[in-house]
């Protein structure tokens, strides 16, 4: 049991650090489309580390499979929301072009 806790703590610590940085980045970046990059970190590495830590702590097959399903679900739904927010920003912000540089590589 204690070995599991010792193994899980680094992952939990990394997750807390990632979530903290996410909030920090949220306040540091000034424009919504940059802030979304910071928000993407918690959805991927943050949640991944939490799930790995919980998987180590439980150590049974079925709960681990369920945790993997949570990760799959997060990975499938996360991009949809990002996509919608970005689309809405580009469509409604009149001066959105001033906030970033456009590069054409077609």
Partner 1 sequence: MFLILLALWLVFAGSVSVSNLLLGAVVSGLITLLCTRFMGYDPRRFYGSARKLPALLRYIAYLLREIVRENFDVLRFIYRRGQPQSMLVRFKSELKSEPLRVLVANSITLTPGTYTVRLEGDEFAVHALDEYFQIDIEHSAFAGMARKVEEA
| C-alpha separations of 49 from 8, 32, 82 in Å | 9, 26, 21
What whole-number distance in Å separates Cα of residue 55 and Cα of residue 70? 12
Among 54, 57, 82, 93, indicate the residue that binds partner 1 (CB under 8 A): 82
Q: Using CB under 8 A, count the residues that bind partner 1.
A: 39
Is 41 in contact with 7 (CB distance < 8 Å)?
A: no
Q: Is 58 in the site for partner 1 (CB under 8 A)?
A: no
Radius of gyration of the chain (CA): 18
Contact code string over 32-51 relative to partner 1, x by CB under 8 A: -xx-xxx-xx--xx--x---
59 dihedral zone (left: phi>0; alpha: psi -120 to 50; beta): left
Nearest distance from C-beta of residue 48 to partner 1, angstroms: 8
Using CB under 8 A as the criterion, which residues of the chain lie in contact with partner 1 when the complex forms?
A: 18, 21, 24-25, 28-31, 33-34, 36-38, 40-41, 44-45, 48, 62, 65-66, 69, 75-76, 78-79, 82-83, 86-87, 90, 99-106
């Amino acid at each position: 049991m204690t070995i599991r806790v010792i193994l899980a703590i680094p992952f939990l610590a990394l997750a807390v650090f990632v979530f903290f940085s996410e909030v920090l980045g949220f306040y540091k970046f000034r424009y919504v489309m940059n802030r979304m990059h910071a928000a993407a970190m918690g959805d991927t590495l943050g949640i991944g580390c939490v799930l790995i830590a919980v998987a180590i702590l439980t150590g049974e097959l079925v709960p681990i499979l369920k945790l993997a399903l949570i990760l799959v679900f997060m990975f499938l739904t996360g991009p949809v929301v990002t996509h919608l927010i970005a689309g809405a920003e580009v469509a409604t912000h009149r001066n959105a072009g001033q906030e970033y540089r456009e590069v054409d590589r077609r």
